[in-house]
């Protein structure tokens, strides 16, 4: 087995990097997740060698056997995180160890080989420093990072695969200073997202495939997202397809459903809970009944509702659409606390505010590294 310390990333860098102007046009013009940076990282695993063949290479197609287990039994997991342009010109990562832990938990749930936290971090750092120029040099410049892992063993045998590929790709996120308008949310009363004992608390591709009919239904009725209820009773609020939810009541309490195995433990959720508590908010993790929530909203007792996740950061919820019609939350706009929590989190991520929780780790980019080498050589 290759030991982790001796695992070196071999680098095959792109021969003619894209020019500044073309890159800027791509970053500005792409929708989320449509444009990718010039490199990707891949690492392989098998039983004999463990994790090996770490490679930084030009972004491009993978060659896989059509019998690769991922295509048949769905052993696939992923993560979502961002690199942020920092106020001092550097690049920040946010709570990487959380994503690494969650990635390993997802692997365990799907009986896949676990990527050690140290390897996860190194792979992410290799990609970000190779493609640092893609983190826009702008106060809100960010690069979305997508670590993923698939079963590559060519076999139709239904058992945990004996070979895996761990990869990281990156997609620049369009800089957008203004907060997005509040969402219209469809309450899903037919499809559920997760069951106790299932995979709702890990990030595996199958969860999202299964949520797509509900998303399609939401789009048909002019909604942006779906709010899923618990599978057993269809009575309690769980989360959106890719974001956790919070409800703010007029008595000042900020509520979110507890993590009982069917809700994805969001890094943003955890961070928002701490920031809200720091502000002296009364934070309550408790089951939220959908009927009670709609009643309270109709009676004007819900002042704000928001969803949060890495991609959208924090986004207001303006209305809920269910079997019994529509309820508007607060005045239908983005609430005060929602806007403030969003701004505070962004300020920490971009290094504009002291990192009092120790959430940030800096990354050296290839350009500054090149100049270090030159300095030493000179």
Ligand X SMILES: *Cc1c(COP(=O)(O)O)cnc(C)c1O
Cα–Cα distances (Å) from 172 to 18, 39, 190, 310, in that order, read 14, 12, 35, 13
- In the complex, least distance from residue 241 CB atom to ligand X, rounded to whole angstroms: 6
For ligand X, the closer of residues 7 and 264 by Cβ is 264
Binding residue for ligand X, selected from 37, 129, 199, 310, defined by CB under 6 A: 310
Nearer to ligand X, 68 or 186 (CB): 186
Query: Rounded to 5 degrees, what angle do the CA atoms 58, 63, 68 make?
Result: 135
Window 191-220: contact mask with ligand X (x via CB under 6 A) = ------------x-----------------
For residue 51, give Cα distances in angstroms to 8, 128, 150. 11, 20, 13
**Between 182 and 242, CB nearer to ligand X:** 242
What does the chain come to in residues? 378
Based on the shown chain and the rule CB under 6 A, indicate whether residue 267 belongs to the binding site for ligand X.
yes
Cβ-defined contacts of 296-302 (< 8 Å, 24+): 296/249, 297/327, 297/328, 297/329, 298/327, 300/250, 301/249, 301/250, 301/251, 302/247, 302/248, 302/249, 302/250, 302/329, 302/330
> Nearer Cβ to ligand X, position 133 or 185?
185
Nearer to ligand X, 149 or 268 (CB): 268
Helix H or strand E segment including 318:
strand 313-322
CA angle 201, 358, 8 (to 5 degrees): 75
**From 115-123, 263-271, 280-288, 353-361, span contacting ligand X (CB under 6 A):** 263-271
If one asks whether residue 229 binds ligand X (CB under 6 A), the answer comes out as no
The answer to whether 153 contacts ligand X (rule: CB under 6 A) is no
Determine, following the binding rule CB under 6 A, whether residue 142 of this chain makes contact with ligand X.
no
**268: phi then psi, degrees, rounded to nearest 5:** -65, -45
Shortest separation between residue 44's beta carbon and ligand X, angstroms: 25
Q: How many CB atoms lie within 10 A of CB 48?
A: 9
Residue 148: enclosing H or E segment and its boundaries?
A: strand 142-151
Shortest CB 95 distance to ligand X, Å: 9
Q: How many residues bind ligand X (CB under 6 A)?
A: 13
Residue 322 makes contact with ligand X by CB under 6 A = no
Q: State yes or no: residue 349 binds ligand X (CB under 6 A).
A: no
Residue numbers of the site for ligand X (CB under 6 A)? 80, 203, 239, 242-244, 264, 266-269, 309-310
């Amino acid at each position: 087995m290759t030991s982790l310390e001796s695992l070196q990333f071999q680098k095959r860098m792109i021969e003619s990097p894209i020019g500044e102007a073309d890159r800027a046009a791509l970053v500005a013009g792409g929708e989320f997740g449509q444009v990718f940076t010039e490199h990707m990282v891949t690492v392989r695993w098998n039983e004999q060698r463990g994790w090996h063949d770490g490679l930084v290479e030009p972004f491009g197609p993978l060659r896989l056997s059509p019998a690769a287990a991922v295509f048949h039994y769905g052993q696939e997991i992923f993560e979502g995180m961002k690199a942020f342009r920092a106020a001092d010109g550097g690049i920040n990562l946010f709570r990487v160890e959380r994503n690494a832990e969650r990635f390993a938990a997802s692997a365990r749930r799907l009986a896949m080989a676990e990527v050690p936290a140290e390897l996860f971090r190194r792979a992410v750092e290799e990609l970000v420093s190779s493609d640092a120029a893609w983190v826009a040099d702008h106060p809100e410049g960010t690069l979305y990072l997508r670590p993923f892992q698939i079963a590559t063993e060519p076999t139709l045998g239904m058992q945990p695969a004996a070979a895996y590929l761990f990869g990281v790709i990156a997609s620049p996120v369009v800089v957008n200073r203004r907060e997005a308008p509040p969402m219209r949310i469809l309450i899903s009363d037919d499809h559920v997202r997760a069951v106790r004992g299932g995979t709702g608390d890990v990030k595996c591709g199958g969860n999202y495939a299964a949520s797509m009919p509900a998303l399609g239904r939401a789009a048909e009725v002019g909604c942006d997202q779906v709010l899923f209820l618990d599978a057993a009773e269809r009575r309690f609020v769980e989360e959106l397809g890719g974001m956790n939810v919070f409800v703010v009541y007029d008595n000042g309490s900020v509520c979110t459903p507890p993590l009982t195995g069917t809700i994805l433990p969001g890094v943003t959720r955890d961070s928002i809970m701490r920031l809200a508590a720091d502000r002296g908010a009364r934070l309550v993790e408790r089951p939220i009944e959908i009927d009670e929530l709609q009643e309270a909203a109709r009676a004007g007792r819900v002042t704000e509702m928001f969803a949060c996740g890495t991609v959208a950061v924090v986004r207001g919820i303006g209305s809920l659409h269910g079997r019994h019609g529509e309820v508007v939350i607060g005045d239908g706009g983005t609430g005060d606390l929602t806007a403030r929590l969003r701004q505070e989190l962004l300020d920490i991520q971009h290094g504009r505010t002291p990192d009092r929780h120790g959430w940030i780790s800096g990354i050296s980019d290839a350009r500054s590294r090149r100049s270090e080498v030159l300095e030493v050589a000179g």
